Amino acid sequence: MAKITGAEMMIKGLIAEGVTHVFGYPGGTIIPLLDHIYKGKDIKFHLTRHEQGAVHAADGYARVTGDVGVCMATSGPGATNLVTGIATANMDSIPMVAITGQVKCTLIGNDAFQEADMVGITRSITKHNYLVKDIKELPKTIKEAFHIARTGRPGPVLIDFPVDVQVQMAEFKYPKTVDIKGYKPTYKGHLGQIKRISKAIAKSKKPLLYVGGGVILSEASKELTKFARKTDIPVTTTMMGLGAFPEDDRLSLGMLGMHGTAYANHSVQAADLIIAVGARFDDRVTGRIDDFAPNASIVHIDIDPSSVSKNVEVDIPVIGDAKEILKELNKIAKKGKFDEWHKTIAVWKKELPLKYKDDARLRPQYVVEQIYELTKKEGAIIVTEVGQNQMWAAQHFTYTKPRTWVSSGGLGTMGYGFPAAIGAQVGKPDAIVFDIAGDGSIQMNIQELATAVLEQIPVKIVILNNGYLGMVRQWQELFYDRRYAFTTLAKKDCTACPDFVKLAESYGAKGMRITEKSEVKKALKTAIKTKGPVVMDFIVEREENVFPMVPAGKSISEMLHGLA
């Protein structure tokens, strides 16, 4: 068998794993690897302008396609620039393989130029990681890395790849199968437990499905929708679960938790049975834990045993893949009789709808609503930054399909949205991709405008420009006596800084400023029609707040309603 280099092996491995796009940034210790991508034609390399852009793009790509996102960076500072993005992917269980160059094996541990202990640094923010010191281990490592990233509860895997191993030669045989003694995820749910769920539903008068991102990761939306409709059980989703169940369905209660709908949160508190599917009882969902769902027995379907009974004692745990388990459940599910329950919820829906002041002023919620109105026929992918913009995007757009909502949930990473939108657009070239952004967040990775312009990646950026780090300002307004400590971004006379239109134009992107409500639709339409990337600077009501809101650490019964 002919010998090939480590770099070539890596490329062959990536191709074998079906990788067609890589996001990355070059540097000394990764030249051999990138050289092989350059010479080949199977993998398209997307040069970002910052490694953080590359890792978020790989993440966005993974979220919309369901495939493993791949990013690459050089050793030292290149690699450490990936850290926030890897942690973001880890918190949201996103399948990813990050490949970092490393100094020569003989220099490792010597504080060599651009050396950083990436395996050490990323240990607690990856599902698993590797340092490949022996070229003979490389094929197996690549195979395992992809297997671990995409199976079970997915997550990021890092391969630290020393530059001398990249140029060493060895025979290459890519393994067909993986056998990791300590890693055998459970997919099939325990049938006895599944029957217990069915019995619990039969006894329940007020059941509620609480659905998380796990349903999207396991491609179980169809099965979930079937189950909910068959049993007539209302559905609330977490922010990560948006799109797992059609929000225009009569059974949908929208999102629950800190900025969830009042009727979803009331339903949780009144329910006598909560069926959690692929959700993890995060504190942003449960509020004060000892008053969460005080009347309910709890069923928890999850692929990760460590999620079960971590925050909340579970009565009926079922470990396995959401899709497999819902399929089994659908076989035995019976039509429920929950008319009283539906009536109660209908009253809450009527009395406490999601609303905002729909007056003549340009309010951020209106912009989000109009994006939905203009795209509901053909559909759109909504990517967000973090803060109020993210919550308005979650609340005021109607999500009906999985993988159309892309947002950093667990880590809440500002600067995630724009590069993730680029990755999403690469993954779904024909989709309309919006990045709903704040004026703060967008500045964290604005350099990627160069990537979007040069590669003609037509992402539409909607800046909900309030001149503030709005979400933090909201907390300061409500809980810190309006002391806006270091959250003002605008100049003293309230003009925005920077001028986003000029900024966009300087990169060669289309820039628009919208200051009137009456201009919103037209601007959005123009943006959708424009071929390349567009930056829309919506100068919105400055001190608009996100409601409802459960203050941190309070019970979800203690919602602040604002206007509602």
Name the site residues for Mg ion (rule: CB under 5 A): 438-440, 466, 468, 470
Q: Give CA–CA dist 305/530, Å, rounded.
A: 47
Say if residues 370 and 524 touch (Cβ distance below 8 Å). yes
* The two structure tokens encoding residue 126: 């990856």
CB of 360 to Mg ion, least distance (A): 22
Partner interacting with residue 385 (select from Mg ion, other proteins, ligand TPP, none; CB below 5-8 Å by kind): ligand TPP
Please identify, using beta-carbon distances, which residue of 99 and 464 lies nearer to ligand TPP.
Answer: 464
The Cβ of residue 219 has, within 10 Å, a number of other Cβ atoms equal to: 14
Which amino acid, 252?
S
Partner interacting with residue 413 (select from ligand TPP, Mg ion, other proteins, none; CB below 5-8 Å by kind): ligand TPP
Please identify, using beta-carbon distances, which residue of 532 and 562 lies nearer to other proteins.
Answer: 562
Please identify, using beta-carbon distances, which residue of 74 and 390 lies nearer to ligand TPP.
Answer: 390
Under rule CB under 6 A, residue 412 binds ligand TPP: yes
CB of 389 to Mg ion, least distance (A): 7
Under rule CB under 6 A, residue 413 binds ligand TPP: yes
Under rule CB under 6 A, residue 389 binds ligand TPP: yes
- Binding segment for ligand TPP (CB under 6 A), chosen from 126-134, 330-338, 382-390, 419-427, is 382-390
Under rule CB under 8 A, residue 109 binds other proteins: no
Under rule CB under 8 A, residue 187 binds other proteins: no
- Binding segment for ligand TPP (CB under 6 A), chosen from 64-72, 205-213, 303-311, 467-475, is 467-475
| 424-463 binders of ligand TPP (CB under 6 A) | 438-441
Across 430-450, b (16+ Cβ under 10 Å) vs e yields ebbbbbbbbbbbbbbbbbbbb
For 120, 373, 381, the CA distances from 402, given in Å and listed in that order, are 35, 18, 10
Q: Give CA–CA dist 25/33, Å, rounded.
A: 11
What three-state secondary structure class fits 502? helix
365 DSSP 8-state letter: H
Q: Which residues contact 317 (CB under 8 A, 6 or more apart)?
A: 193, 299, 300, 302, 308, 309
Please identify, using beta-carbon distances, which residue of 125 and 535 lies nearer to other proteins.
Answer: 125
Work out the burial of residue 485: count CB atoms within 10 Å of its CB; fewer than 13 is exposed, 13-18 middle, 19 or more buried.
exposed
Under rule CB under 8 A, residue 560 binds other proteins: no
Please identify, using beta-carbon distances, which residue of 101 and 470 lies nearer to Mg ion.
Answer: 470
Vertex 549 angle, CA 558 and 557, to 5° = 20
Work out the burial of residue 90: count CB atoms within 10 Å of its CB; fewer than 13 is exposed, 13-18 middle, 19 or more buried.
buried
Q: Give CA–CA dist 134/151, Å, rounded.
A: 25
Size of the site for other proteins (CB under 8 A): 32
Size of the site for ligand TPP (CB under 6 A): 20
Under rule CB under 8 A, residue 557 binds other proteins: yes
* Strand intervals (E) in 63-127: 69-73, 96-102
CB of 536 to ligand TPP, least distance (A): 14
Sole binder of other proteins in the list 2, 18, 176, 182 (CB under 8 A) = 182
Please identify, using beta-carbon distances, which residue of 268 and 469 lies nearer to ligand TPP.
Answer: 469
Contact footprint for ligand TPP (CB under 6 A): 385-389, 412-415, 438-441, 464, 466, 468-472
Contact footprint for other proteins (CB under 8 A): 119-120, 123-124, 127-128, 131, 148, 180-183, 266, 269-270, 289-296, 304-306, 309-310, 312-313, 344, 557
